[in-house]
Amino acid sequence: MKFGGIDIGSLTGKAVVLEDDDVVGSAIIPVRRNPVLTSTLVYNEVLDGLGIEASDVAYCVGTGYGRERIPFVQKSLSEISCHGKGAHFLDPEVRTIVDVGGQDCKVICLDDDGDLLDFVMNEKCAAGTGRYLEIMADLLDLSLDQLGSVSLKAKTPVAMNSTCSIYAQAEVLQYIARKTRKEDIAAGISRAMAERVAGLVRKLAVAPEFTITGGVAKNAGVVRALEDILGVEFRPLSFDPQLVGALGAARFARESSPGESTRR
């Protein structure tokens, strides 16, 4: 039996299809004009890849910023629940999930059974979210992927004094004007980003084991800086960290499907 999970974020749309416990298809696309379009396109991409129709999927759950506007799902659930669900499914040892998405950052704490204990979220300020990295990568004329890899080559990372993305932009422009090495600026940016995320992590009584999800989890520079600041190691997941929310949604779909015996 097949189950779908759709995660419509601020910058990307993600879809996962499960065949019982196994992921059989997934896709990530940049957001389109509206969540209706984004969700339809990303879901169709997965369905086409599998050569199946929407009617072949027993149950589908939506999540993310745009979840209320996905036309074809049976149910929608919060990102917090879905990220918790997905991470617990991938690694039951995980108690703290740091999810850094395109326009927000969440820290989610789970109990031993994978149920939600507590969470904190920043969705008010671009600093400490993927948007911040995107702006900075643009200034340095690097792709988001390059920003991470370039920053790992730094010898003397620059200090960033500003929190605000706007002020940080001015600071980076000054470094560029002074012909500071790109890798040192990139590393300073990663560090500043990580400091901001760490501030959010410290607001909760967090417990090991830790993992990181969301698009920013793919940025090695930020991940390493965050491990360094927090003094922890993130457990690597056996799955694309950007798809964890969609995976969690698909797991919920499986549990919600009337044809399935509910199992935690």
Partner 1 sequence: MDEVAGDYAFGIDAGSSILKIVVVGGDGGLASSTTARIGGDPTGVVGAGVKKLLRELGVKRKQATFGITGRNGRGVAKFAEYESELSCLAAGGAYLVPGVRTVVDTGSFSNKVVKVDSSGRVVEYAVNDVCSSGAGMFLELVCKSLDVSLDELGSLALEAGDPVPISSQCSIFAESEVIYLMNEGKGVPEIAAGVCQSIVGRIAPLVSKLRPEPDFLLAGGVAKNPAVRSMLSRELGAEFVDPGVDPQLVGAFGAAVLGKGAGGDPGTRVYGGGDWR
Q: Measured from the CB of residue 177, what is the shortest distance to partner 1 in angstroms? A: 5
- Strands annotated E in 93-134: 96-100, 105-110, 116-122
Of 60, 89, 4, whose CA–CA distance to 263 is shortest? 89
Q: Which of 44, 143, 156, 174 binds partner 1 (CB under 8 A)?
A: 174
Interface residue with partner 1 among 131, 196, 224, 254 (CB under 8 A) is: 131
Torsion of Cα atoms, 136 then 138 then 141 then 146, to 10°: 70
Q: Do 241 and 100 touch, CB atoms closer than 8 A?
A: no
**Residue 37 tokens, joined:** 């379009």
Q: Return the closest-CA partner of residue 135 out of 156, 162, 108, 157.
A: 162
Residue 192 CB, shortest distance to partner 1, in Å, is 13
Give the binding range for partner 1 (CB under 8 A) out of 24-32, 60-68, 121-129, 220-228. Answer: 121-129
SS3 264: coil
By CB under 8 A, tell whether 177 contacts partner 1: yes
> With binding defined as CB under 8 A, does residue 40 bind partner 1?
no
- The stretch near partner 1 (CB under 8 A) out of 131-139, 212-220, 223-231, 232-240 is 131-139
- Smallest gap from residue 10 Cβ to partner 1 (A): 9
For position 78 contacting partner 1 by CB under 8 A, the verdict is no
Q: Which of residues 6-35 bind partner 1 (CB under 8 A)?
A: none
Name the segment binding partner 1 (CB under 8 A); options: 46-54, 59-67, 163-171, 235-243: 163-171
Q: Is 29 helix (H, G, I), strand (E, B) or coil?
A: strand
Q: What angle do CA 232, 238, 240 make, to 5 degrees?
A: 95
Long-range pairs for 16-20: beta carbons < 8 A, 24 or more residues apart: 16/46, 16/243, 16/246, 16/247, 16/249, 16/250, 17/46, 17/47, 17/50, 17/57, 17/250, 18/247, 18/250, 18/251, 18/253, 18/254, 20/254
Nearer of residues 54 and 173 to partner 1, judged by Cβ: 173
Return the number of the residue (165 or 219) whose C-beta is nearest partner 1. 165
Given 50, 120, 135, 229, the residue binding partner 1 (CB under 8 A): 135
User: Which of 170, 203, 208, 228 touches partner 1 by CB under 8 A?
Assistant: 170
Query: Among residue numbers 199 through 228, which ones bind partner 1 (CB under 8 A)?
Result: none
Find the binding residues for partner 1 in span 92-111 (CB under 8 A): 103
Based on the shown chain and the rule CB under 8 A, indicate whether residue 163 belongs to the binding site for partner 1.
yes
Q: Quick one: which of 62, 34, 29 has its CA closest to 48? A: 29
Residue 143 as a binder of partner 1 (CB under 8 A): the answer is no
Compute the least distance from the CB of residue 4 to partner 1, in Å: 27
Query: Facing residues of 61 across strands?
Result: 5, 75
Instruction: State the burial class of residue 179 (Cβ atoms within 10 Å of its Cβ: 0-12, 13-18, 19+).
Output: exposed
Give the footprint of partner 1 on this chain (CB under 8 A). Answer: 103, 124-126, 131-132, 135, 162-167, 170, 173-174, 177
